[in-house]
Amino acid sequence: VAPAVLVEVALPLPLFRTFTYRHDGSLPSPGTRVLVPFRTGKRIGWVVGRGDAAGLDEVRPVLEVLEGEPSVPPCLLELADWMAGYYVTPLGVVLRSLLPAPLSDASRAPPVRTRKVVRLLPPVPDLARREVLFARAPRQRECLERLEAVEEGRELRVLLEEDRFARSVVSGLEEKGLVEVVEVELLRDPFQGRGAPGPPPRFSLTPAQSGATAALLSALDEEASLPFLLHGVTGSGKTQVYIELLREVVEARGRGAIVLVPEIALTPQTVRRFRAWFGDGVAVLHSALSEGERYDEWRRLRSGEKRIAVGARSALFAPLEDVGAIVVDEEHDGSYKQSEAPRYHARDLAVLRARREGAVCVLGSATPSLESWRNTALGKFRLLSLPERATGAPLPSVEVVDLRAPRTGTGADGPRPLPAPSGPPPVLSPRLVEAVEERLRREEQAILLLNRRGYASFVQCRACGEVLQCPHCSVSLTYHRRRSRLLCHHCRHEEGAPERCPRCGEVELAYRGLGTEQVERVVAERFPTARIARMDVDTTGGKWAHAEILGRVERREVDLLLGTQMIAKGLDFPGVTLVGVINADVGLHLPDFRASERTFQLLSQVAGRAGRERRKGEVIVQTRVPEHYSIQAALRHDFPGFARRELAEREEPRYPPHVRLANVVVSSPDPELAAAGAEGAARWLRPRLGGDVEMVGPAPCPIERLHRRWRWHLFLRASSAGALGRVLAELVRMHRLPPGDVRLVVDRDPVALL
Ligand code: ADP
Ligand code: ZN
Distance 494 CA to ligand 2 centre (A): 8
How many angstroms from the chain centroid is the CA of residue 160?
44
Q: pLDDT grade, residue 212 (50/70/90)? A: very high
For residue 728, which of 695, 753, 700 has the smallest C-alpha distance?
A: 695
Q: Which residue from 203, 332, 569 has its CB within 8 A of the most atoms of ligand 1, so it is best to mutate? A: 203
Indicate the Cα dihedral angle 120, 121, 124, 130, nearest 10°.
-80
What angle (nearest 5°) sits at the alpha carbon of residue 479, between those of residues 476 and 483? 145
- Whether residue 623 contacts residue 589, with contact meaning beta carbons closer than 8 Å, is answered with no
Q: Is the pLDDT confidence value at 214 over 50?
A: yes
Burial class of residue 434 (count of CB atoms within 10 Å of its CB; 0-12, 13-18, 19+): exposed
CB proximity list for 686: less than 8 A, separation 6 or greater? 695
Cα–Cα distance list, 235 to 391, 445, 569 (Å): 8, 17, 12
In whole angstroms, what separates CA 170 from the centre of its chain?
A: 49
For residue 233, which atom of ligand 1 is closest to its CA?
3
Q: What spacing in Å lies between the alpha carbon of 390 and ligand 1's midpoint? A: 5
For residue 38, the SS3 value is: strand
Ligand closest to CA 487: 2
**Looking at ligand 1, which atom is closest to the CA of residue 239?**
6
Q: Which residues, judged by CB distance below 6 Å to any ligand atom, belong to the binding site of ligand 1?
A: 201, 203, 205-206, 209, 232, 234-240, 390-391, 572, 612
- Give per-residue burial for 384-394: e unless 16+ CB within 10 Å, then b: bebebbbbebe
Gap from CA of 12 to ligand 1 centroid (Å):
44
Ligand nearest the Cα atom of residue 491 = 2
The CA-atom distances, in angstroms, between 618 and each of 255, 293, 398, 432, 520 are: 43, 42, 6, 11, 21
Separation CA 47–CA 91 (nearest Å): 11
Q: CB–CB of 173/189 below 8 Å?
A: no
β-strand partners of 256: 323
> From the CA of 475, how far away is ligand 2's center (Å)?
7
566 CB-near residues (< 8 Å, 6+ apart): 263, 266, 535, 536, 537, 540, 546
Q: Give tens-digit pLDDT for 221-267.
A: 998 889 999 999 999 999 999 999 999 999 999 999 999 999 877 78
Beta pairing partners, 327: 259, 362
Q: What is the pLDDT of residues 176-206, one digit of tens each?
A: 999 998 887 776 666 555 556 677 778 899 9
CA 584 to CA 602: how far, in whole Å? 9
Please state the atom number of ligand 1 nearest to the C-alpha of residue 236: 3
CA of 389 to the centre of ligand 1 (A): 7
Confidence of residue 1 (pLDDT cuts 50, 70, 90): low
- Averaged pLDDT score across all residues of the chain: 91
User: Are 85 and 3 a contacting pair, CB within 8 Å?
Assistant: no
For residue 154, give the nearest of 122, 182, 126 by alpha carbon: 182
For residue 238, give the ligand 1 atom closest to its CA: 3
Which residues are 49's β-sheet partners? 8
Whether residue 71 contacts residue 99, with contact meaning beta carbons closer than 8 Å, is answered with: yes
Judge contact between 568 and 388, C-beta under 8 A: no
Determine whether 730 is exposed, middle or buried from the number of CB atoms within 10 Å of its CB (0-12, 13-18, 19+): middle
**pLDDT higher than 50, residue 103:** yes
Closest protein CA for atom 27 of ligand 1: 390
Measure 488 CA to ligand 2 centroid, in angstroms. Answer: 5
Ligand minimally distant from the alpha carbon of residue 614: 1
CA of 326 to the centre of ligand 2 (A): 38
| Å from CA of 675 to ligand 2 middle | 20
**Which ligand places an atom closest to the C-alpha of 329?**
1
Number of neighbours of residue 146 by Cβ within 10 angstroms: 15
The per-residue pLDDT for range 418-437, each reduced to its tens digit, is: 444 445 567 999 999 999 99
Q: What's the 233 CA to ligand 1 centre distance in angstroms?
A: 11
**Mean pLDDT within 277-290:** 86
Q: Tell me what pLDDT residue 419 has.
A: 44
What's the CA gap between 704 and 256, in Å, rounded? 45
Closest ligand (CA of 493): 2
SS3 243: helix
User: Of 271, 312, 343, nearest to 97 (Cα)?
Assistant: 343
H-helix segments, 346-487 = 346-357, 370-377, 430-442
- Residue of 572, 576, 604 best suited for mutating to test ligand 1, as the one with most atoms within 8 Å of CB: 572
- Helices and strands, counts by H and E, the chain: 20, 33
What is the 473 CA–ligand 2 centroid distance (Å)?
4
d(CA 244, CA 240): 6
CA distances from 229 to 4, 70, 116, 337, 605 (A): 51, 34, 50, 18, 17
Query: Distance between CA atoms of 228 and 212, rounded to whole angstroms?
Result: 10
Answer whether 42's CB lies under 8 Å from 16's CB. Answer: no
Closest to 257 measured CA to CA, from 311, 296, 196: 311
Task: Pick from 236, 239, 274, 395 the residue to mutate for probing ligand 1's pocket: most ligand atoms within 8 Å of its CB.
Answer: 239
Using the predicted structure, report yes or no on whether residue 688 has a pLDDT greater than 70.
Answer: yes
Mutation pick for ligand 1 pocket among 391, 571, 613, 614 (CB with most ligand atoms within 8 Å): 391
| Average pLDDT for 346-357 | 97
**Closest ligand, as measured to the CA of 576:** 1
Q: Count Cβ atoms below 10 Å from residue 299 Cβ, excluding itself.
A: 19
Cβ-Cβ contacts under 8 Å for 63 (sequence gap 6 or more): 34, 35, 36, 37, 42
CB 333 within 8 A of CB 355: no
Q: What is the pLDDT of residue 178?
A: 92
| 273 Cα nearest atom in ligand 1 | 16
Q: Ligand 1: distance of its center to the CA of 240 in Å? A: 7
Q: In what helix (H) or strand (E) does residue 620 lie, and over which residues does it extend? A: strand 618-623
CA of 458 to the centre of ligand 1 (A): 41
pLDDT in tens, 648-680: 999 988 999 999 999 999 999 999 999 999 999
Rounded to 5 degrees, φ, ψ at 519 are: -60, -40
Statement: residue 707 has pLDDT above 70:
yes
Which numbered atom of ligand 1 lies nearest the CA of 205?
23
Q: Which residue's alpha carbon is nearest to atom 26 within ligand 1? A: 391
Ligand 2: distance of its center to the CA of 702 in Å? 14
Task: State the pLDDT at residue 602.
Answer: 95
Mean pLDDT for the stretch of residues 684-698: 92
What residue's CA is closest to ligand 1, atom 10? 235
Of all ligands present, the nearest one to the C-alpha of 240 is: 1
- The burial of 507, by beta-carbon neighbours within 10 Å (0-12 exposed, 13-18 middle, 19 or more buried), is given as exposed
Minimal-distance CA residue to ligand 1 atom 1: 235
Contact (Cβ atoms closer than 8 angstroms) between residue 121 and residue 177: yes
Instruction: Band the pLDDT of 417: cuts 50, 70, 90.
Output: very low
Nearest ligand 1 atom, CA 201: 16
Distance 345 CA to ligand 2 centre (A): 26
Ligand nearest to the Cα of 572, by number: 1
Instruction: Band the pLDDT of 162: cuts 50, 70, 90.
Output: confident
- The pLDDT > 70 percentage for the chain reads 95
Q: How far is the CA of 681 from the centre of ligand 2 (A)?
A: 27
Given a cut of 90, is residue 532 above it in pLDDT?
yes
Of the ligands numbered here, which is closest to the C-alpha atom of 709?
A: 2
* Residue 472 CA, ligand 2 centroid: distance in Å: 5
Give the pLDDT confidence score for residue 193 in this predicted structure: 52
DSSP 429-450: -HHHHHHHHHHHHHT-EEEEE-
Nearest-CA residue for atom 6 of ligand 1: 237
- The residue to mutate among 236, 240, 569, 601, having the most atoms of ligand 1 within 8 angstroms of its beta carbon, is 240
Q: Is the pLDDT of residue 407 over 70?
A: no
Mean pLDDT of 17-33: 94
| Residue whose CA is at the smallest distance from ligand 1 atom 2 | 238
